[in-house]
Amino acid sequence: MFKNSIWFNLHETESTNSFLHEQLMSEKLPEGSVVTADYQTKGRGQRGSSWQSEAGKNLLMSIVIYPDFLKASEAFVLSKCIALATYDLLADYSNQVQIKWPNDILIEGKKVAGILIENILRGADIYATIAGIGINFNQQMFEGGLNSATSVFINSGVKADTQINAVKLHENIEVYYQMLQQKKIEEIDRLYLTHLYKLNETALFNDANGPFQGKIKGLSPMGLLIVERENGEKHLYDVKEISLVR
Ligand code: BTN
């Protein structure tokens, strides 16, 4: 499936996602093509944030796929596949890995990896998806301290080879992408929920009306978060509308 994929291993680039965007403007790369970098000068995170990563310490990787069988409204299932592939990679290092909706990966409740999915649309269809994954492997210090961020090394004491992990992650993504092509959506949904952080646990959230206690009950088919309040009412939230405080 990804057998013709091309690999670009860069020392430095602005952002591996941006690099693939630029490549795709001039040619249609084979599906599964990948770029990795030791360092990004303008690493990008979700919702316009930046992604900081010390040079040569972590995995910074982007992959292009062409999910022409998916409608744009079904795009979230792809995000689940990338999260599950990343989960499986990290589960080799820790048994405390979880997925925080929509697609952060946590070890012992601290963020170890982030995923940035960018869909290039043609009308209502997805022409190409660029999935960027940043995994903290060997970094030991983080800007905001160690309360909310971690790395595989901090957690397990293991120094991992990022390039070997890039190859494994590529294989994992291929496995889940194949499941998606075979329409095994229920299986993907089930696995995602199995690993979901705070599912059915009382947690503190913040929405436009302020903080409140509730429980994550699952996801809508479009990937919206279903949160049940203490009075039993259920609400659906898009990613910009809610944050999980603790
Ligand atoms: C987030 O959690 O905010 C998402 C972070 C995604 C970071 C990765 S690193 C590789 C790829 N290139 C980027 O510029 N961003 C993603």
CA of 231 to the centre of ligand 1 (A): 37
Say if residues 42 and 68 touch (Cβ distance below 8 Å): no
* Nearest residue to 46 (alpha-carbon basis) of 109, 100, 117: 117
Question: In the prediction, which pLDDT does 213 show?
Answer: 97
Question: In the prediction, which pLDDT does 205 show?
Answer: 97
CA of 113 to the centre of ligand 1 (A): 9
Instruction: Indicate whether residue 102 lines ligand 1 (CB < 6 A).
Output: no
CA of 218 to the centre of ligand 1 (A): 25
Instruction: Indicate whether residue 134 lines ligand 1 (CB < 6 A).
Output: yes
Question: In the prediction, which pLDDT does 124 show?
Answer: 77
Cα–Cα distance list, 77 to 8, 16, 104, 122, 159 (Å): 26, 22, 15, 19, 32
In this prediction the pTM is 0.96
Say if residues 142 and 49 touch (Cβ distance below 8 Å): no
DSSP bridge pairs for 129: 65, 119
Instruction: Indicate whether residue 214 lines ligand 1 (CB < 6 A).
Output: no
Q: Which two tokens stand for residue 147?
A: 């309360």
Say if residues 50 and 81 touch (Cβ distance below 8 Å): no
Instruction: Indicate whether residue 218 lines ligand 1 (CB < 6 A).
Output: no
Segment holding 177, helix H or strand E: helix 162-181
Question: In the prediction, which pLDDT does 227 show?
Answer: 98
Question: In the prediction, which pLDDT does 123 show?
Answer: 82
Instruction: Indicate whether residue 104 lines ligand 1 (CB < 6 A).
Output: yes
Q: If the chain, 246 residues long, is cut into consecutive pieces of 10 residues, what is the mean pLDDT of each piece? A: 95 98 95 98 95 97 95 90 98 98 96 96 88 98 89 97 98 98 96 98 96 97 95 95 93
Say if residues 112 and 150 touch (Cβ distance below 8 Å): yes
Instruction: Indicate whether residue 40 lines ligand 1 (CB < 6 A).
Output: yes
Instruction: Indicate whether residue 111 lines ligand 1 (CB < 6 A).
Output: no
Q: Which ligand 1 atom lies nearest to the CA of residue 47? A: 3
Q: Which ligand 1 atom lies nearest to the CA of residue 14? A: 14
Q: Which ligand 1 atom lies nearest to the CA of residue 42? A: 14
CA-derived radius of gyration, the chain: 18
Residue nearest to atom 7 of ligand 1 (CA): 134
Q: State which of 60, 136, 173, 197 you would mutate to test the pocket of ligand 1, scoring each by most atoms of that ligand within 8 A of its C-beta.
A: 60
Instruction: Indicate whether residue 19 lines ligand 1 (CB < 6 A).
Output: no
Say if residues 149 and 137 touch (Cβ distance below 8 Å): no
Instruction: Indicate whether residue 139 lines ligand 1 (CB < 6 A).
Output: no
Q: What is the pLDDT of residues 54-105, one digit of tens each?
A: 999 999 999 999 999 998 888 899 999 999 999 999 999 999 999 999 999 9
Question: In the prediction, which pLDDT does 73 show?
Answer: 83
How many residues would you count in the chain?
246
DSSP bridge pairs for 62: 35, 132
Q: Is 22 exposed, middle or buried (0-12, 13-18, 19+ CB in 10 A)?
A: exposed
Instruction: Indicate whether residue 116 lines ligand 1 (CB < 6 A).
Output: yes
How many CB atoms lie under 10 A from the CB of residue 38?
18
Question: In the prediction, which pLDDT does 145 show?
Answer: 82
Q: Which ligand 1 atom lies nearest to the CA of residue 49? A: 3
